[in-house]
Amino acid sequence: MKIFLDTANLESIRKYNDIGAVDGITTNPTLLSREKEHPEEIMREITRIIKGPVNLEVVGITTDVMLEEAHRLTTFGNNVVVKIPMIPEGLKAVKILNNEGIKTNVTLIFSSNQALLAAKAGASYVSPFIGRLDDAGHNGMEVIREIVSIFNNYQFRTEVLVASIRHPVHVVEAAKIGAHVVTLPPEILGKMMSHPLSDKGLESFLLDWEKVKKKHDYQI
Ligand code: E4P
């Protein structure tokens, strides 16, 4: 399963890129609004830092404006995937962009039928928002299970990108179902890396090593 970071924070992107776990990035207007740098500067810089797919979102709501934005965003780097909202005008844009060889990610997916339509339009990725579904009293992971099964049944090449992840258990569940990608806020990647028993174990190994050094007058 691929891991994308769901952030527009350059410091976090550089930090976690160094641990070798980051396969790509997703951003959205809200994430960009939290940063102090100019959004275009951020988006261009992300495409330089990250080799894998960098998902940048359009803000237009008509097909023509989305296409114009998509063409501009793809000049930022050759790894750009254009995020398009799940609305009828968006599906039209996805179909055209797919014919032009431009990769797309249909975002704001909340049902398996929406994912099916996005895949049929030629989306490279669909992004179901599981945390927001859970918040609304639905079972987000059940929607992931349905979409993965539908895409497998009909051999769609569209990848299921699990978005709006709220905790590490979401990641394990998505991996068990066989989702292709999860996109994580940096703090969740941080939580996945740590375990109190790892810290406790290391502390006692280091203390015991001090005893070895003393006993043998050994300086390492
Ligand atoms: C990713 O592409 C989405 O924009 C993101 O995961 C949404 O997450 P949120 O529901 O925490 O805002």
Distance 192 CA to ligand 1 centre (A): 18
Does 219 have pLDDT greater than 90?
no
At residue 69, the pLDDT reads 98
**Which tens digits make up the pLDDT trace of 24-45?**
999 999 999 999 999 999 999 9
CB atoms closer than 10 angstroms to residue 205? 9
- Pick the residue whose CA is nearest to atom 7 on ligand 1: 164
At residue 220, the pLDDT reads 80
- Spatial CA neighbour of 26 closest among 218, 212, 192, 181: 181
- Pick the residue whose CA is nearest to atom 9 on ligand 1: 164
- Pick the residue whose CA is nearest to atom 12 on ligand 1: 164
Letter string b/e over residues 140-159, b meaning 16 or more CB atoms within 10 A of that residue's CB: bbebbbbbbebbeeeebebb
For residue 55, which atom of ligand 1 is closest to its CA?
A: 2
Bin 108: left if φ > 0, else alpha if -120 < ψ < 50, else beta. Answer: left
83 is catalytic: yes
Q: Does the model's pTM come out above 0.75? A: yes
Q: Which long-range contacts (CB under 8 A, 24 or more apart) does 96-100 make?
A: 96/63, 96/67, 97/67, 97/70, 97/122, 98/122, 98/123, 98/124
Question: How many residues would you count in the chain?
Answer: 220
- Spatial CA neighbour of 6 closest among 107, 110, 143, 98: 107
Cα 145 from Cα 106, distance rounded (Å) = 18
**Which tens digits make up the pLDDT trace of 165-212?**
999 999 999 999 999 999 999 999 999 999 999 999 999 999 999 999
**Which tens digits make up the pLDDT trace of 53-104?**
999 999 999 999 999 999 999 999 999 999 999 999 999 999 999 999 999 9
Lining residues, ligand 1, CB within 6 Å: 6, 26, 28, 107, 127, 129, 131-132, 163-164, 183
CB atoms closer than 10 angstroms to residue 62? 13
